[in-house]
Structure 1
Amino acid sequence: MLRAFLNRKKTRKLSEVSDVRLAEEYDFIVKSKAHLDGLEKIRKVKLRSYKWRKNIAVPVAVVITPVLGYVDYMLLFLQSGDDRGAGLTVLALGALYAWVTHPRRQYAKAYKLKILPRLATLFGDFTYDLKGKIAIYKMQPSKILPSHDRCDSEDYFSGMYKGVDIEFSEVDFKQRRRSKNRTYYVSVFKGLVILLDMNTKKFYGHTMLDKNKGKIGEWFKQKSSNLKRANLVDPAFEKIFDVYTNDQVEARYLIDPVMIERLKGLQMEYGGEGMTAAFYDSKMLILIESKHNYFEPAALEIPATDPRSILSMKKEIGEILSLIDRLDLYDPQKVREENNLTLDNVESGVV
């Protein structure tokens, strides 16, 4: 598959490669060929291991499930409904599943450690850390973080693009819950978190974008955030999102038709089930809720040399960077002038 991709590119004249990013993709895949060939050897070994384990696990599961199910039933009966000693079936099948799928996780980890750091450099001064995370103190002032007791993170990218510091990773915010017999954690948000910091440009106000939650949800949001509902110009957008701010002029300037389309595109690209965002200080924070696993290689059954997996990851990152292209146009001086103009109009009775 990789060879066919490269051969197809070689047949094109240099003048035909007008898209710089396409040329970069081709160059990146050429330079990654040695890594992908090495990963293909790992993939074949892990695929054989996975198939062997699966062939063993299926008959084992068929045998032990009814046996352990009966044991669980007897334990519940003997303990008068107390389930602390039961659950052997779930435990055993969970362990069996983890054993069978272990080769898949090993391959995914090897792929990430080999390819994602190289993919990060394709966008400039970027780095990749498998278990890195965005510092909570940077995100806390946004007012959009869910209440949580634990934060798990993976696939952390950081760098600078067009003078904007950027960090993004997969995050799982969890709350601690207690029942009669145990303490456990429940996910309250799982998805992609993106933090942009413009450094030299600072927002005048605080603007939040949240899922449309109806009138009651809107009332609670305004009370809890001390922000007011913003009046925008896109009715279709307002059916999906609510915008709250303490600076109406800046909110309309930030959430303009171009930004609206970028945010819609970002949510669609990442298959988000919900999205929230905040503009505060010099930062923009975006939370995209989704059960999808981002920045993952293709299935174990697909050759590592297939370039589509890399190009798909590159496209995901490109969607994030498109937001920076839009924020680069943000001009605080223009917002100040429009604010002053609005105040002058109010005082003169024009508005």
Structure 2
Amino acid sequence: MDSEINTNTALQEVLNTLEIDRKKIAETYKTCYILFGLAFVLLIVGFFIRIPIIGFLGFAASGITGIVMYFQIEDTAVKYKVAYKTNVVAKALKNINESLILTPQSGLPEYEFISSELFTTKPDRYKTQDLISGTNDKTSFWFAEVHAEYKTETRDKNGTKTHWHTIFKGIVFVADFNKNFEVSTVVRPKGYGEAFSSWFSKNVFSFGNSEVVELENTEFDNKFATYSRNQIEARYILTPAMMERILDLNSKCDETISVSFISSKMYIAFPLSHNYFEAPIHSTLLDPDLLTNDISIVKFMHDIVHELDLNTRIWGKA
């Protein structure tokens, strides 16, 4: 995949042009950091030689120059990053599937993050970007990077302090399951079991009288806790074949995934720490492996449709 991308003449021309911009941005940032460092050195020297006014003037001159340069180049850097996503990454995705569309400034809406019922806390701060959508045979799917947080506050003699805690950071994948489910079925890592069960009684999204579903796959039950208000429908969805496919998908991930079946959609949350699709600033765009990680994660998400056999239409939507 990468060799095909890096031998694409049109794409190489775009990369060569963006590389000029990248070098300018990187050099400007470097100059800013030097000026900031110089500002502090002049301040210290001024106090050391007991002429603080010289230190303050030097600090002000270098510091202000560095700040002005920094904010001026920031606008250029933002445009460079957007151009990289739209002119490099988005075009490279067409090598996986022509239907794939990258929308950098869009993501998974917060209401959909909440309605997926995968997470036990409503976010107080929510960020999402880099929405990728497409179709794989008969199945529509989309996914985006998400960082959701909740806050707590503590009080001490200095006042109130706000602390931010991560609810989820990674990619949320959504696919059409071709069936309108009567109720929600949620599959979460086993470790969330007791906390999740008690959470049901205290939070009202749409869970109602959800209860643990005991399934016939021991390995699946050891890895995941499954909840639903309809035991029959949950077992209808989580067939032996589907459970094996979810286990296989999970084995390819560093952290345990979460899955839910809501309305006519399947949601999968993949905890990830890496931020994908970002243009490098301090390393070259001409690296042959530049797109390796980005292409790999998109291909992984794209192939979920086949991994879980979502194109096999066992049911029809009511």
TM-score, normalised with respect to structure 1: 0.64
Q: 1:66 to 1:324 in 2, by over 3 A?
A: farther
Between the aligned partners of 1:204 and 1:139, the Cα distance in structure 2 is: 20
Contact 1:142–1:285 under 8 Å retained in 2: yes
Between the aligned partners of 2:218 and 2:179, the Cα distance in structure 1 is: 29
Write the deviation string for residues 179-210 of structure 1: whole angstroms up to 9, x where unpaired: 75798976533221211123x43345422121
Match of 1:193 in 2: 172
**CA drift at 1:296:** 2.8
Identity among equivalent pairs (%): 17
1:201-350 aligned within 5 A: 201-203=179-181, 205-213=183-191, 216-221=194-199, 223=201, 225=207, 226-233=209-216, 235-245=218-228, 246-247=230-231, 248-253=234-239, 255-265=242-252, 267-268=253-254, 273=255, 275-297=257-279, 300-302=282-284, 304-325=285-306, 326=308, 327-329=310-312, 331-332=314-315
Match of 2:56 in 1: none
Gaps of 5+ in 1: 1-21, 69-91, 334-351
Between the aligned partners of 1:243 and 1:101, the Cα distance in structure 2 is: 50
**CA drift at 1:220:** 1.3
Task: Describe the SS at the equivalent of 2:188.
Answer: strand
Task: Describe the SS at the equivalent of 1:133.
Answer: coil
Contact 2:143–2:173 under 8 Å retained in 1: yes
Contact 2:25–2:77 under 8 Å retained in 1: no
User: 159, 163, 168: which is aligned to 2:143?
Assistant: 168
Match of 1:339 in 2: none
- 2:44 aligned with 1:57: no
Tell which deviates more after alignment, 181-190 or 245-254.
181-190
Task: Describe the SS at the equivalent of 2:214.
Answer: coil
Q: 1:59 to 1:192 in 2, by over 3 A?
A: same
Match of 1:119 in 2: 92
Contact 1:57–1:96 under 8 Å retained in 2: no
**CA drift at 1:63:** 4.6
Between the aligned partners of 1:112 and 1:219, the Cα distance in structure 2 is: 41
Q: Quick check: which one's helix share is greater?
A: 1
Match of 2:122 in 1: 147
**Letter paired with 1:125:** S
Contact 1:209–1:277 under 8 Å retained in 2: yes
Write the deviation string for residues 115-151 of structure 1: whole angstroms up to 9, x where unpaired: 2221343313222211012344445433224402443
Contact 1:208–1:277 under 8 Å retained in 2: yes
Gaps of 5+ in 2: 45-63
Contact 1:191–1:288 under 8 Å retained in 2: yes
Q: 1:148 to 1:124 in 2, by over 3 A?
A: same
Match of 2:83 in 1: 110
Count of residues in Structure 1 that have an aligned counterpart in Structure 2: 278
Contact 2:32–2:70 under 8 Å retained in 1: no
